[in-house]
Amino acid sequence: TILLTTESVNLVLHAWCYSNKGELAAERAERLLHWMEDLHHNSSNSESSNIPLGESWSPYLPKPNFQSYATVINAWSQSAAYESSHSATTNSVGGMETKKSGGRAKNNVVSAATMAGFECAKRAEELLMHMQRMHEQRQLQMVAEDYNGHSEQHSSGIQPDTRVFNLVLKAWSKIRGGTKASAIRAMRILDLMQELHHTQSINAPEWQGMVLSKVQPNLQTYKLVLHAWAHAAHTTEGPDRAEEILRHLLSLSKAGNLGAEIAPDAECFHIAMKAHAESVRKRRKGDGYGSAPLERARKVGVLLDWMELLALRTATSRVRPCTESYRIALSAWVWSHHVDAPKEAEGILFRMIRACDANNGVGSKDGVVVDDTTTAAKAAGRAISGPVRPETRDFNTLINCCSFARKVGTDASEEDDDSLLQRQVAHREIFDIAEGALNALLASEYAQPDPTTFS
């Protein structure tokens, strides 16, 4: 006789999970999970009715375990990202058509693909809640059957842990074109994790002074919540909420915690910085006067300053600016299309060059002297940044920024002589910035001009 075991069914669940079939695979996987639940439930009823068949076969029937539920939740989590990026076949949801203006679709309507991803994430969350309820019910049954009292720690075998909660958070955070609603759902999962951790910590065992709780938010948990707000494309508050969570995470890491590693790293900063920079690129004008892109670009610069300060203060800091850090700030200013963008971008590029020279042990480069903070960091035996190496495209970005900035302003035909003179002086300053970037590129040992540089 060949018996169908739980491990065999779990292998099929695993196959559906990684079949790259999106919602179809998740539906089939959950159907198998519920089949196992019904099979076990029916066999239990047979035993309670004193049916011999139920008594003899119940221990050999497949019964869903922790891995069964975790695999199906993972399937729904992956389908959320898959459907939100592969279901874009229509431009309307719920009868609302996407309006177009000037040949481009407006972003005030949630796409069908995003809604499909939202529903998949919702199914993952519902299954997580079902798993949690099953755990609580089994735990109550075990306590009721324990004639020795409540002194023994009970385990249901299917209690969701941090990894399972993070799978649901991943579903909400990876929805392409996410919304404020998806970010709020992610925040609710985080709140539930914190509540469960507090409750479980009361009777949880300890090891070397750390409380061993099944559910405890870790760094990955907070990164997923950061992503959820950063990907909330249909709200202007997403970048600000992401930055708030980053600051809260830094406060928690300074105050200490119950054992989970939650000290933010460079990636946490990059998520918030990219959220602000992406908002600049989309040129969201919250007040109607175009100051929003400028404020967003400044916030990216502040976060970059913060990264350098943290790296300078602590030799073992996990937050060290790298090439991507400077590149995000550089892009934010270029996308702002502000009149001061060339000056700000120039400052970031040469900070990038100084960081590269400091890492390579160079005190000055092409007449650019390393500043006092960099010198102090070198004297202390540490660098203020991670691996940093400007590339040709970074110099080209600054040169293109200068080229665009020459077009910013009013029509020259409407200017008086004084305004025209000021405009010519500004153009001269912009030209000097572009020429300085070109000279630095020509003198660079790690980058060379390409056809784009001179175009």
- Reduce the DSSP state of residue 104 to 3 states and report it: strand
Please give the span between the terminal C-alpha atoms of the chain, in angstroms, as a whole number.
Answer: 76
Matching residue, tokens 């292998």: 11
CB 179 within 8 A of CB 116: no
Tell me which H or E stretch contains 101. Answer: strand 100-101
What residues contact residue 9 under an 8 Å CB cut-off, 6+ apart? 32, 36, 62, 68
Structure pTM? 0.82
pLDDT tops 50 at residue 77: yes
Mean pLDDT of 277-289: 67
Report the share of the chain in percent with pLDDT over 90: 49
**Token reading at 17:** 């999970």
What residues contact residue 243 under an 8 Å CB cut-off, 6+ apart? 272, 275, 276, 299, 303
CB 29 within 8 A of CB 71: yes
Report the share of the chain in percent with pLDDT over 70: 76
The CA–CA distances, whole Å, from 96 to 60, 235, 294 equal 52, 18, 33
pLDDT tops 80 at residue 148: no
pLDDT at residue 154, rounded to an integer: 57
Work out the pLDDT band at 212, boundaries 50, 70, 90.
Answer: low
pLDDT tops 50 at residue 290: no
pLDDT in tens, 97-140: 444 444 444 556 788 999 999 999 999 999 999 999 999 888 88
Rg of the chain on CA atoms, in Å: 28
Find residue 96's DSSP bridge partners.
Answer: 93
Q: Which string of DSSP letters, residue by residue, matches 146-191?
A: -TT-S-SPP--S----HHHHHHHHHHHHS-TTB-HHHHHHHHHHHH
Please give the distance of CA 384 from its chain centroid, rounded to a whole number: 24
What residues contact residue 47 under an 8 Å CB cut-off, 6+ apart? 54, 55, 58
pLDDT at residue 410, rounded to an integer: 47
| Summary mean pLDDT of the chain | 81
Matching residue, tokens 């306590």: 143
